[in-house]
């Protein structure tokens, strides 16, 4: 019995040591103070904020900010509780975080809080309650209000858009999305919000749908499907081009690096620079800097393997188109 216990102990040490060496070799620990996945980000005063997420075999409550000019990470306080799949947005003076899950894999935060970070004090406070528990959603800020898009509540896919008036502290339901979904990505350009991909019970784990929401008019518009369906990916809009990159194909058991670009004038797809490392569940800056946009963290392995493959890496991704997609050649 003692020999068995000793052998088991050394086997565990061997696995831990091997995992540590793998992470060093792959560069997964580089960048952030704590590697993390299943995260969102927002920018305020040229600082990219990331809060919570799945760390190495645990859920995180920490917040980190990357100075996009100096390329230096710093701490930005702690969330009131550890959460993953937290959506984030910022107005002109504060950073906001909403929803998420309190434990692995997906135990909803029944307290359903909306939190606000004050950069002057480095503290997070709860400022409101969400209409209901929600996770795997997205959030943006526009004209004095926060918008929560899609997600899941108790395993049910949501098509909801909730608008939170910050000054009045009131919630209102907006025109629902054409398709309920979670694990999608969003990008905003002025009053236009783009929602891409995701997962749903109806459409599976690699949705290809792309929709645009007119924030002022409260209406939806369908756009051409993306060439490759995905969830847990990133989206950014620059000029007249919508960029979709990275993510996860659960049916194939793969993490993606590819980068598709939709010309919003011609509605044709092209191919851009891929991520330098396939990943999903990463965070994307909502501010464009010289050279491109910043992509941080994420999981380097799909599904449950995320818990040991979380990364702290940061990459500047070029958002210039490279070549037409195969389906567009000859058109």
Residues contacting residue 123 through CB under 8 Å, at least 6 positions apart: 77, 117
Whether the CB-CB separation of 194 and 140 falls below 8 Å is answered with no
Dihedral sign, CA of 119, 121, 122, 123? negative
State how far Cα 278 lies from the chain centre: 15
Shared domain check, 147 and 242: yes
**DSSP assignment string, 230-270:** -BS-EEEEETTEEEEE--EETTTTEE---EEEEETTT--EE
Measured at the alpha carbon of residue 177, what is the angle toward residues 176 and 179, in degrees to the nearest 5? Answer: 130
What is the 3-class SS of 31-51, one letter each residue?
CCCCCEECCCEEEECCEEEEE
Examine the domain organization and report whether 13 and 45 are in the same domain. no
Residue 20 pLDDT class (50, 70, 90 cuts): low
pTM: 0.91
Residues 262, 253: Cα–Cα separation, whole Å: 26
Residues 22 and 40 in one domain: no
Verify that 139 and 80 share a domain, yes or no. yes
Band the pLDDT of 329: cuts 50, 70, 90: very low
pLDDT digits (tens, 9 = 90+) for 129-173: 999 999 999 999 999 999 999 999 999 999 999 999 999 999 999
Could you count the other beta carbons within 10 Å of the beta carbon of residue 125? 12
- Is residue 80 over pLDDT 60? yes
The answer to whether 257 touches 315, Cβ cutoff 8 Å, is no
Q: Do 104 and 238 reside in the same domain of the chain? A: yes
3-state helix, strand, coil in the chain (%, to 5): 10, 45, 45
Residue 328, pLDDT > 50, answer no
Number of domains in the chain: 2
> Which tops the pLDDT comparison, 71 or 105?
71
Residues 95 and 145 in one domain: yes
Contact 118, 77 (CB under 8 A): no
Q: What phi and psi values does residue 327 have, to the nearest 5 degrees?
A: -70, -15
Q: Quick one: tokens of 27?
A: 């560069």
Are residues 316 and 180 located together in one domain of the fold? yes
Same domain, 67 and 4: no
Given this model, what pLDDT does residue 15 score? Answer: 42
Q: Which residue range is the domain that position 6 belongs to?
A: 1-26
> Are residues 18 and 78 both part of a single domain?
no
Asked if residue 35 and residue 19 are part of one domain, the reply reads no
SS3 of 116-134: the string is: EEECCCCEEEEEEECCCCC
Give the gyration radius of the chain's Cα atoms. 20
Q: Are 15 and 42 part of one and the same domain?
A: no
pLDDT at 17: 46
- Taking only the tens place, the pLDDT of each residue in 237-278 is 999 999 999 999 999 999 999 999 999 999 999 999 999 999
Residues 261, 158, single domain; the answer is yes
State yes or no: pLDDT of 5 exceeds 50.
no
Which domain CATH number covers 212?
2.120.10.80
């Amino acid at each position: 019995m003692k020999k068995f216990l000793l052998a088991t102990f050394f086997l565990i040490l061997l696995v831990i040591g091997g995992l540590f060496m793998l992470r060093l070799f792959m560069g997964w620990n580089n960048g952030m103070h704590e590697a993390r996945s299943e995260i969102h980000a927002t920018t305020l005063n040229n600082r990219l904020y990331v809060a919570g997420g799945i760390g190495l075999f645990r859920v995180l409550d920490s917040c980190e900010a990357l100075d996009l000019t100096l390329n230096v990470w710093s701490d930005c306080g702690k969330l009131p509780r550890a959460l993953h799949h937290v959506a984030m947005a910022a107005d002109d003076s504060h950073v906001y975080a909403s929803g998420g899950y309190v434990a692995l894999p997906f135990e909803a935060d029944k307290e359903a809080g909306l939190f606000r970070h004050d950069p002057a004090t480095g503290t997070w406070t709860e400022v409101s309650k969400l209409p209901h528990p929600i996770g795997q959603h997205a959030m943006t800020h526009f004209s004095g209000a926060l918008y929560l898009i899609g997600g899941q509540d108790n395993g049910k896919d949501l098509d909801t858009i909730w608008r939170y008036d910050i000054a009045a502290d009131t919630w209102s339901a907006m025109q629902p999305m054409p398709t309920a979904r979670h694990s999608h990505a969003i990008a905003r350009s002025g009053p236009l919000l783009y929602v891409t991909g995701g997962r749903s019970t109806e459409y599976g784990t690699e949705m290809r749908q792309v929709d645009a929401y007119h924030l002022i008019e409260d209406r939806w518009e369908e756009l051409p499907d993306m060439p490759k369906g995905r969830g847990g990916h990133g989206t950014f809009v620059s000029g007249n081009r919508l960029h979709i990159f990275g993510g996860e194909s659960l049916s194939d058991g793969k993490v993606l690096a590819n980068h598709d670009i939709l010309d919003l004038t011609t509605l044709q797809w092209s191919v851009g620079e891929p991520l330098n490392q396939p990943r999903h569940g990463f965070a994307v800056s909502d501010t464009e800097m010289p050279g491109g946009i910043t992509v941080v963290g994420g999981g380097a392995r799909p599904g449950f393997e995320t818990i040991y493959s979380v990364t702290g890496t940061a990459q500047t991704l070029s958002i210039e188109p490279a070549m037409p997609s195969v389906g567009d050649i000859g058109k």
